[in-house]
Amino acid sequence: MKRVTRTDQPPWQGHPKGSKAYRNMLLALLFGGLATFAQLYSVQAVLPGIAAEFDVSAADAALSVSAATIGLALAVIPWSAIADRIGRKRTMIWAISAAVVLGLLLPLAPGFGAMMALRFLEGAALGGIPAVALVYLNEEVQRLHAAVAAGTYVAGTTIGGLTGRLVAGPVAELGSWRTGVLAVSILAALAAVAFVRLAPSPRGFRPLVRGEGPALAERILVNLRSPRLLALYAQGFLLMGGFVAVYNYLGFRLEAPPFNLPTSLASLLFLAYLAGTVSSRLAGGLTVRFGRLRVLLASIPVILAGLAITLADSLPVILLGLLVFTAGFFAAHSVASGWTPRMARVGQAQASSLYNLFYYAGSSLLGWAGGLFFVQSGWTGLALFAGVLALLAGTTAVLALRGAPTA
| Cβ atoms 69, 122 nearer than 8 A | no
Residue 64 class from Cβ within 10 Å (0-12 exposed, 13-18 middle, 19+ buried)? buried
Look up the pTM and report it: 0.74
| Cβ atoms 68, 120 nearer than 8 A | yes
| Residue 7 confidence (pLDDT) | 47
Residue 82 and residue 45: Cα distance in Å, rounded? 33
Q: Which residues contact 228 (CB under 8 A, 6 or more apart)?
A: 343, 400, 401, 404
Which residues are bridge partners to 209 per DSSP? 5
Q: Which residues contact 386 (CB under 8 A, 6 or more apart)?
A: 241, 242, 243, 245, 246, 303, 307, 370
Sign of CA dihedral 287, 292, 293, 295: positive
| Residue 1 confidence (pLDDT) | 43
Residue 207 and residue 393: Cα distance in Å, rounded? 35
| Cβ atoms 297, 397 nearer than 8 A | yes
Tell me the domains of the chain and their CATH numbers. Answer: 12-202+213-401 (1.20.1250.20)
Q: What tens-digit pLDDT sequence spans the chain (407 residues)?
A: 444 444 455 576 666 777 888 888 888 888 888 888 899 888 988 888 898 899 888 778 888 988 998 898 889 889 988 888 888 888 989 999 999 999 999 999 999 999 999 999 999 999 888 878 878 877 777 676 676 777 777 777 778 878 888 899 889 888 889 999 999 999 999 999 998 898 887 776 676 665 555 677 888 888 888 899 999 999 999 999 999 899 888 888 888 888 888 877 877 777 887 888 788 878 877 887 888 889 999 999 999 999 999 999 899 999 999 999 999 999 999 899 888 877 877 777 788 878 988 988 898 889 888 988 998 999 999 999 999 999 999 999 999 888 776 54
DSSP-H helix ranges across 127-226: 133-140, 146-174, 177-198, 216-224
* Coil, strand or helix at 175: coil
